Homo-oligomer: A and B are copies of this chain.
């Protein structure tokens, strides 16, 4: 099995119903494997999970710990600037907090950030140097 892998990204949330409603509003469909207390979304070869923050702390062996957000960002790259704007605006309409509207950035792409209702930060971007496969997966190109 390759060493460099992520199987599941879990976001600890303060209110599971609120979090589920946000991701539904952004257009995500929960997978039938979801169970009471944990919600799963199939992604491009990986899975996103929503799980109560207290449950997550207990699962980590840190009951009562104050878990923080913001130092991990999840980026979703889009085909072009128009799709980036559309995906970003859909998140705002679903209740995300805008951190930085998509704009041209110094590295040659186009990128914005929002925070979901629990403070988890998403970057929505397009990167002309990183072509995506049809399923949305990314294989880094070798430098010239």
Q: Among B48, B68, B99, which residue has its beta carbon within 8 angstroms of that of A60?
A: B99
Which B residues are CB-close (under 8 A) to A96?
Answer: none
Shortest A10–chain B CB gap in Å is 5
B44→A76 contact, CB < 8 A: no
Which B residues are CB-close (under 8 A) to A11?
Answer: 71-72
**Interface core residue of A41, A47, A48, A73 (most chain B CB under 10 Å):** A73
Interface size in chain A (residues, C-beta < 8 A): 73
**Interface core residue of A4, A43, A57, A61 (most chain B CB under 10 Å):** A4
A46 contacts partner chain B, Cβ-Cβ < 8 Å: yes
Complex alpha-carbon distance, A42 and B121, angstroms: 21
B4→A138 contact, CB < 8 A: no
A136 contacts partner chain B, Cβ-Cβ < 8 Å: yes
A139→B42 contact, CB < 8 A: yes
Shortest 10 CB-CB contacts between residues of A and residues of B: A68-B68, A45-B137, A61-B100, A67-B70, A67-B71, A8-B75, A12-B71, A5-B136, A7-B77, A45-B45
Other than the given A6-B74, A42-B140, 7 more pairs (CB < 8 A) read A1-B136, A8-B74, A9-B74, A12-B73, A33-B143, A47-B138, A69-B72
A residues touching B (Cβ–Cβ < 8 Å)?
Answer: 1-12, 27-29, 31-33, 40-48, 53, 56-57, 59-62, 65-79, 83, 87, 99-100, 113, 118-121, 123, 125, 130, 132-143
